[in-house]
Amino acid sequence: HHKLTYGNILDQSNFNNRKFENYARRHGFISAVPLREIVEAYNYGVRNLYELSEYLQLSEKYILEALEQYKKIYGIGTNYGEYSITFEPLRVFEYKEI
């Protein structure tokens, strides 16, 4: 948070403080659980939330919150390189053009 916000943002009744807090949280989630890591985990053999939390060494709750942030940004899923990622349920598909 200290790299993205400044001052005291503890008072969440202030709109700007809430905005800065949400911005910092979103950045933290995306930095800790990047799409690249989700694809790498899939290629490693990870197939469920528990295995992903073990692979990334993060709690399942934290990963679920990160996936919620991704859903706010991308909707139900997105493409990353040659892969299609859906966030609920979390699935990764490798696709090839026909």
What is the distance of C-alpha 1 from the center of its chain?
16
pLDDT score at 9: 55
Distance CA(18)–CA(42), nearest Å, equals 34
Q: Which amino acid is it at 55?
A: Y
Q: pLDDT by residue (tens digit) across 20-36?
A: 666 667 777 788 899 99
Q: pTM score, two decimals? A: 0.76
Region 4-20 average pLDDT: 59
pLDDT category at 15 given cuts 50, 70, 90 is low
Domain boundaries of the chain, sorted by first residue? 33-94
Distance CA(66)–CA(28), nearest Å, equals 9
Residues 19 and 4 sit within 8 Å (Cβ to Cβ): no
Containing 67, the helix (H) or strand (E) segment is helix 60-74
